[in-house]
């Protein structure tokens, strides 16, 4: 697998990383075999958390990576709002190490941390950061990172604190709002891990847009075009793929071994497809989930993603099928999302999406 230098950490990570957020169910051995297969195949960045998969992901990763410790990098994380004190996070770190069956992790991320949470929870005296720094002094963590869905302006402020050697953020053909952050990370020698390179899978779907993606990518799959787009950015170290099977390992290995930047003409044409889509359909939901929770329990990113999949990719039948599953719980509102227009989501959406209107448009399209 091709590798890239992760900023000033000096570590070389495979261009596709193993995302361990979907190792659901089955027994530990089943997933451990897939993790081991990935390590054999050349994956060397394994990304987990103490909460993934009902807190079983670390155990599955740890079991799979036995015997590979000297050639892989393990990243785990916790959120300051869940572990607000130095002692709290130390407990979480100790438990993670135990589940992973390792003496140290290569990367520890502050998980889903906004600027205000960093300033008011993590960085205060006796807070999360103090506990992590102590764990680093004790040799339990090698490098500190942050994952965040904050606004680009706030992400840049987080990088400017000088605390982080790596940042994990969402970046793909549909969500390019983080490009300024990625550039700033590159300027500061901070490694960049891209999450969601396939935007929850919709960029890899077989669809009417698929043929055009393949053509633009010179005969490669839609997933590979989407991955290549992310990795065409020279400041991106690695794109995380949420592995669900042995077949995913094989497919990602094939992509990662041949990855090369999209050529200028292809890149420009590809970007234009998505810009034209956004121009004709307005702002596109990036799945950041800032708008959640909704007091009416509407899974806003889910509904808007189905509308995106129908409009952008032409996956109308599949989107309607999935929308019907949401609508089953909405009988009191005639099958529509029971939005009371409280405005909570609109205030929070960094894309400026008029969510109540977008939900109505989604209903018209998908009912
Ligand atoms: S405006 Fe509607 S969708 Fe948005 S938070 Fe309020 S009830 Fe939920
Ligand atoms: S509607 Fe806005 S805030 Fe909610 S997930 Fe989509 S982009 Fe994020």
- The pLDDT mean for the chain works out to 90
* Mean pLDDT across 107-133: 97
**What average pLDDT does the segment 115-144 reach?**
97
Lowest mean pLDDT among 21-25, 114-118, 121-125, 151-155: 21-25
CA distance 33 to 16: 19
Look at 357 and 316; give whichever has higher pLDDT: 357
Of 269, 295, 322, which closes a domain? 269
Single out the residue in 236, 269, 302 at which a domain terminates. 269
Is 274 inside any structural domain? no
Which ligand places an atom closest to the C-alpha of 200?
A: 2
Q: Specify whether 229 is located in the same domain as 154.
A: yes
Q: Which two tokens mark 169?
A: 């953020």
Q: Which domain holds residue 343?
A: 282-366
And the tokens for 233?
Answer: 């950015």
Closest ligand 2 atom to 283 CA: 7
Q: How far is the CA of 92 from the centre of ligand 2 (A)?
A: 30
For ligand 1, the distance from its centroid to the CA atom of residue 26, given in whole angstroms, is 36
* Cα(185) to centroid(ligand 2), Å: 24
338: which residues sit within 8 A by CB, 6+ positions away?
A: 296, 298, 330, 332
Has residue 329 got a pLDDT over 90? no
Residues 76 and 37 in one domain: yes
Number of domains in the chain: 2
CA distances from 222 to 76, 171, 202, 219 (A): 29, 16, 10, 9
Residues 138 and 204 in one domain: yes
What's this model's pTM, rounded to 2 decimal places?
0.85
Please check whether residues 150 and 116 belong to one and the same domain.
Answer: yes
Claim to verify: residue 119 and residue 262 sit in the same structural domain? yes
How far is the centre of ligand 1, averaged over its atoms, from the C-alpha of 343 (Å)?
Answer: 6
Q: Which atom of ligand 2 is nearest to the CA of 358?
A: 1
User: Which residue lies with its CA nearest to atom 6 of ligand 1?
Assistant: 342
Q: How far is residue 128 CA from its own chain's centroid?
A: 22
Residue 275 lies in a domain: no
Question: From the CA of 290, which ligand is nearest?
Answer: 2
Answer whether 330 contacts ligand 2 (Cβ < 6 A): no
Whether the Cβ atoms of residue 87 and residue 79 lie closer than 8 Å to each other:
no
Residue 172 and residue 255 in one domain: yes
Pairing mode of beta strands 191-195, 16-19: unpaired
* For residue 210, pLDDT beyond 70: no
Per-residue pLDDT averaged across 190-195, rounded?
97
What pLDDT does residue 217 have?
56
Residues of the chain above pLDDT 90, percent: 66
Count of beta carbons in the 10 Å neighbourhood of residue 341: 12
Return the half-sphere exposure (C-beta side, CA atoms, 13 A cut-off) of residue 330. 21
* Whole-angstrom distance, CA of residue 267 vs CA of residue 230: 11
Say if residue 83 is in the same domain as residue 231: yes
Does one domain contain both 165 and 49?
yes
Residue 287 CA: which ligand is closest?
2
Ligand 1 site residues (CB inside 6 A) read: 294-296, 298, 300, 339-345, 355-356
pLDDT-wise least confident of 92-106, 162-176, 205-219, 246-260: 205-219
More confident of the two residues 115 and 205:
115
In this structure, what are the phi and psi dihedrals at residue 45, rounded to the nearest 5 degrees? -120, 115
Ligand 1 centroid distance, CA of 123 (Å): 32
Residue with the smallest CA separation from ligand 2 atom 6 is 285
Query: Quick one: 123 and 226 in the same domain?
Result: yes
Q: Using CA atoms, how far apart are residues 107 and 193, in angstroms rounded to an integer?
A: 12
The answer to whether the CB of 305 is under 6 A from ligand 2 is: no
Residue 34 lies in a domain: yes
Is the minimum distance from the CB of 355 to ligand 2 under 6 angstroms? yes
Domain harbouring 242, CATH code: 3.20.20.100
CA of 346 to the centre of ligand 2 (A): 9
pLDDT at 206 over 80: no
* Residue 277 domain-assigned (yes or no): no
The H-assigned helical ranges of 170-221 are 179-188, 208-216
Residues 76 and 154 in one domain: yes
**Among 213, 240, 269, residue at a domain's last position:** 269
80 and 208 belong to one structural domain: yes
286/150: higher pLDDT: 150
| 288 alpha carbon – ligand 2 mean position (Å) | 5
Q: Residues 334, 206: one domain?
A: no
């Amino acid at each position: 697998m091709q590798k890239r230098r992760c900023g000033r950490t000096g570590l070389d990570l495979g261009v596709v990383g193993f995302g361990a957020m979907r190792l659901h169910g089955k027994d530990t051995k089943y997933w451990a075999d897939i993790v081991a297969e990935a390590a054999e195949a050349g994956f060397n960045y394994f990304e987990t958390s103490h909460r993934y998969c009902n807190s079983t992901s670390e155990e599955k990763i740890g079991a799979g990576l036995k015997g590979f410790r000297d050639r892989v990098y393990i990243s785990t994380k916790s959120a300051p709002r869940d572990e607000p004190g130095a002692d709290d996070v130390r407990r979480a770190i100790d438990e993670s190490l135990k589940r992973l069956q390792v003496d140290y992790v290569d990367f520890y991320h502050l998980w889903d941390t906004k600027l205000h949470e960093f300033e008011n929870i993590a960085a205060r005296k006796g807070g999360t950061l103090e506990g992590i720094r102590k764990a680093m002094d004790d040799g339990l963590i090698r490098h500190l990172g942050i994952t965040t869905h904050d606004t680009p302006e706030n992400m840049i402020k987080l990088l400017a604190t000088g605390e982080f050697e790596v940042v994990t953020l969402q970046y793909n053909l549909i969500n390019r709002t983080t490009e300024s952050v990625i550039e700033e990370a590159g300027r500061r020698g901070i490694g960049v891990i891209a999450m969601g390179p396939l935007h929850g899978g919709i960029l890899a779907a077989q669809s009417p847009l698929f043929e055009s993606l393949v053509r633009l990518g010179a005969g490669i799959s839609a997933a590979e075009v989407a991955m290549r787009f992310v990795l065409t950015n020279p400041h991106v170290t690695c794109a995380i793929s949420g592995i669900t099977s042995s077949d995913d390992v094989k497919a990602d290995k094939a992509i990662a071994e041949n990855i090369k930047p999209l050529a200028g003409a292809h890149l420009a044409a590809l970007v234009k497809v998505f810009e034209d889509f956004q121009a004709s359909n307005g702002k596109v939901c990036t799945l950041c989930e800032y708008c959640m929770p909704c007091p009416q329990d509407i899974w806003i990113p889910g509904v808007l993603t189905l509308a995106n999949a129908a409009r952008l990719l032409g996956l109308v039948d599949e989107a309607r099928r999935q929308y019907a599953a949401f609508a089953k719980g909405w009988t009191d509102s005639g099958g529509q999302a029971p939005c009371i227009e409280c405005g909570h989501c609109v205030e929070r959406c960094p894309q400026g999406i008029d969510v109540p209107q977008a939900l109505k448009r989604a209903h018209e399209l998908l009912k």
